[in-house]
């Protein structure tokens, strides 16, 4: 086992990054790495080809032994953790159906926002037109499954404008909480939100069942069994007339709507709706960004990162303190922090409580991992145990993973930063300054001005770019062809 054998030990080469480095980065993983090294990796001779001569040492591109311990906690990316709350999570047939649904605009209702009329500017079609918005509209494969289409680009345009930017979906199945505010506790449950949101698909669960019946019946029934018959319009809302009547809270005075349905009919529909979420999640689990140049570097190919990228890595895990929050193989701690990102932009909410708003929602979610449609409610309950709003949750947003990040501008939950350089500049200033920009809550106290030089900023950006993974299998990037499975 030579995996760690190539490591270069220059103790004191870059004076141990910033006061001994981020304390919370060297957790159990680092200890495991150390054990593995002690057992089977004789200390390697310094490898000058890795660029650690005198000049490089003073340029800060060498990794100390302690740096390597941290670096090994960032790579490789393991497979996504099992999701016991979704019995279909790892089924290929479910993933193939999920992929078809992900790219299917027929699961959407009438467009509401006037901006949609400007198709040249990224709109979806004339106001009132239906069947225009698929998941892929705001999560485009060529942008790391994020949105670079909507104009202005800060947030995303579906039937209306969302108040936050669409996150990239690469490695999403590794996360513990979903949405920027963590208001969902399972990936399958997350996917149900956009379908019924008036700003996104503006559709409804009853309309989803009818769309499945028409367009995806054989594939659905092969996995989940017979679809219910919704032809009785005295029992089920007439979603062909108005798709929005088929969701909770629709409150249509002149039409039968979801809230007026018999509870057992609601349950029939809810079950199919949840199955759609489970199929979508099975597809999303396959969107993995791995095997980047950074991973090759960690695995022993020292030439995989150039000098500048290595300088960026040393800063990332050291003086710039990024690894305090962007840690582990996804480069996210899965937690929520307040970066002081300005609530600024045409469709951005003026005030956004972030995690403090998400916690009450996830605790009360009838379609969550602890609910009746979960395949393991006790696992869901364990996940939620002890969750309550703390002061630090106000204005805190989920730490995004950084693998493949270069493909998915703009950045932050408001899409506030158009480029990675803008992101690094924001951190260089110590995050947002509440006397200048508006955001809820208090900024994380660890975010302080970094005093980076221009070259150091560029090095950090170069390092972030080196996190681009191997291309996804092409079979995952487009609607699946009729009848066939997407990928083997
Ligand atoms: C109109 C644009 C739009 C459409 C259409 C859309 N999304 Fe999203 N998506 C967003 C935005 C914006 C967010 C972040 C919202 C938030 O955090 O409040 C998001 C968040 C997500 C997340 C959470 C990612 C994370 O890191 O927590 C997932 C997963 C996701 N969407 C999947 C889907 C799926 C599946 C569909 C189709 C059923 C879909 N989206 C349709 C804009 C869109
Ligand atoms: C205190 C924890 C913390 C630290 C330290 C930190 N980040 Fe972040 N990072 C976050 C959070 C939280 C967000 C999302 C903030 C938001 O949108 O409100 C974020 C967002 C980002 C994004 C945008 C990603 C996207 O998809 O929108 C990038 C890039 C990034 N950070 C890189 C860095 C770099 C580089 C450093 C070091 C200079 C760093 N971060 C330090 C927590 C942190």
For residue 157 and ligand 2, the question of a CB distance below 6 A is answered with: no
Gap from CA of 403 to ligand 2 centroid (Å): 12
Residue having the nearest C-alpha atom to atom 40 of ligand 1: 135
Do 334 and 256 reside in the same domain of the chain? Answer: no
Do 272 and 338 reside in the same domain of the chain? Answer: no
Nearest ligand 1 atom, CA 102 = 37
Do 168 and 254 reside in the same domain of the chain? Answer: yes
pLDDT for res 1: 32
Do 338 and 257 reside in the same domain of the chain? Answer: no
- Which single residue is written with the structure tokens 């709003």? 389
Domain CATH for 182: 1.10.760.10
* Mutational test site, ligand 1, from 194, 211, 415, max ligand atoms within 8 Å of CB: 194
d(CA 165, CA 413): 5
Sign of CA dihedral 474, 477, 480, 484: positive
Gap from CA of 166 to ligand 1 centroid (Å): 6
pLDDT for res 423: 97
The answer to whether residue 418 sits within a structural domain is: yes
The answer to whether residue 204 sits within a structural domain is: yes
d(CA 201, CA 195): 5
In tens digits, the chain (488 residues) has pLDDT values of: 333 322 332 222 333 333 333 334 444 444 444 444 444 444 443 343 455 777 777 777 889 999 999 999 999 999 999 999 999 999 999 999 999 999 999 999 999 999 888 887 789 999 999 999 999 999 999 999 999 999 999 999 999 999 999 999 999 999 999 999 999 999 999 999 999 999 999 999 999 999 999 999 999 999 999 999 999 999 999 999 999 999 999 888 889 999 999 999 999 999 999 999 999 999 999 999 999 999 999 999 999 999 999 999 999 999 999 999 999 999 999 999 999 999 999 999 999 999 999 999 999 999 999 999 999 999 999 999 999 999 999 999 999 999 999 999 999 999 999 999 999 999 999 998 767 779 999 999 999 999 999 999 999 999 999 999 999 998 999 887 544 445 76
Do 263 and 371 reside in the same domain of the chain? Answer: no
pLDDT for res 27: 43
- Interval 341-381: pLDDT, tens: 999 999 999 999 999 999 999 999 999 999 999 999 999 99
The answer to whether residue 317 sits within a structural domain is: no
Q: Which domain holds residue 338?
A: 322-465
- Ligand showing the shortest atom-to-Cα distance for residue 24: 2
Domain CATH for 412: 1.10.760
The answer to whether 403 and 289 are in contact (CB under 8 A) is yes
The answer to whether residue 34 sits within a structural domain is: no
Residue 411 backbone phi and psi in degrees, to 5: -110, 165
The answer to whether residue 172 sits within a structural domain is: yes
Do 192 and 268 reside in the same domain of the chain? Answer: yes
Do 277 and 135 reside in the same domain of the chain? Answer: yes
Residues near 307 by beta carbon (within 8 Å), at least 6 away in sequence: 51, 56, 59, 61
The answer to whether residue 86 sits within a structural domain is: no
Do 281 and 328 reside in the same domain of the chain? Answer: no
Alpha-carbon 115 to chain mean position = 26
| Number of domain units in the chain | 2
The answer to whether residue 246 sits within a structural domain is: yes
C-alpha distances in Å from residue 60, one per residue of 6, 12, 368: 19, 11, 47
Do 231 and 361 reside in the same domain of the chain? Answer: no
* Mutational test site, ligand 2, from 343, 355, 427, max ligand atoms within 8 Å of CB: 427
Gap from CA of 431 to ligand 2 centroid (Å): 9
Q: Domain boundary residue among 266, 287, 308?
A: 287
Of the candidates 408, 440, 412, 407, the one whose C-alpha atom is nearest the C-alpha of residue 424 is 412
Which DSSP category does 354 fall into? Answer: B
For residue 163 and ligand 1, the question of a CB distance below 6 A is answered with: no
The answer to whether 445 and 350 are in contact (CB under 8 A) is no
The answer to whether residue 452 sits within a structural domain is: yes
């Amino acid at each position: 086992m030579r995996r760690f054998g190539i490591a270069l030990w220059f103790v004191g080469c870059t004076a141990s990054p910033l006061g001994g480095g981020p304390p919370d980065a060297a957790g159990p993983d680092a200890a495991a790495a150390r054990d593995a090294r002690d057992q089977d990796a004789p200390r390697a001779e310094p490898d000058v080809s890795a660029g650690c001569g005198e000049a490089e040492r003073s340029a800060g591109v060498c990794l100390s032994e302690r740096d390597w311990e941290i670096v090994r906690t960032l790579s490789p990316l393991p497979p996504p953790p099992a999701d016991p709350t979704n019995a279909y999570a790892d089924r290929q047939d479910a993933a193939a159906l999920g992929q078809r649904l992900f790219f299917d605009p027929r699961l959407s209702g009438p467009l509401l926002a006037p901006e949609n009329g400007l198709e040249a500017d990224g709109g979806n079609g004339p106001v009132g037109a239906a069947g225009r918005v698929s998941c892929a509209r705001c999560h485009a494969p060529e942008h790391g499954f994020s949105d670079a289409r909507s104009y202005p680009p800060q947030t995303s345009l579906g039937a209306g404008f969302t108040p936050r930017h669409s996150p990239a979906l690469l490695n999403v199945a590794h996360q513990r909480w979903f949405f920027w505010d963590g208001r969902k506790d399972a990936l399958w449950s997350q996917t149900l939100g956009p379908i019924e949101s008036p700003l996104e698909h503006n559709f409804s669960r009853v309309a989803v069942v009818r769309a499945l019946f028409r367009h995806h019946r054989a594939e659905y029934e092969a996995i989940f069994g017979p679809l219910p018959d919704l032809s009785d319009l005295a029992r089920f809302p007439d979603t062909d007339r108005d798709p929005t009547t088929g969701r909770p809270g629709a409150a249509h005075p002149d039409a039968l709507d979801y809230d007026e349905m018999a509870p057992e009919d609601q349950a029939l529909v809810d079950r199919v709706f949840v199955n759609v979420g489970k199929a979508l999640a099975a597809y999303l689990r396959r969107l993995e960004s791995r095997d980047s140049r950074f991973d090759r570097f960690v695995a022993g190919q020292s030439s995989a990162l150039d000098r500048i990228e290595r300088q960026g890595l040393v800063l990332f895990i050291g003086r710039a303190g990024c690894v305090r929050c962007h840690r582990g193989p996804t480069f996210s701690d899965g937690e929520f922090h307040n970066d002081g990102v300005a609530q600024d932009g045409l469709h951005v909410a003026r005030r956004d409580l972030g995690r403090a708003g998400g916690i009450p929602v996830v605790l009360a979610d009838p379609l969550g991992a602890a609910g009746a449609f979960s395949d393991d409610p006790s696992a869901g309950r364990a996940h939620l145990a002890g969750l309550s709003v703390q002061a630090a949750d106000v204005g805190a947003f989920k730490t995004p993973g950084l693998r493949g990040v270069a493909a998915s501008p703009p950045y932050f939950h408001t899409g506030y930063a158009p480029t990675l350089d803008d992101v690094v500049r924001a951190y260089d200033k110590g995050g947002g300054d509440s006397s200048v920009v508006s955001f809820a809550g208090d900024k994380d106290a660890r975010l302080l001005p970094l005093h980076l030089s221009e070259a150091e900023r560029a090095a950090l950006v170069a390092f972030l770019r080196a996190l681009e993974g191997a291309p996804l299998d092409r079979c995952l990037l487009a609607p699946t062809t009729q009848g066939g499975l997407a990928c083997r």
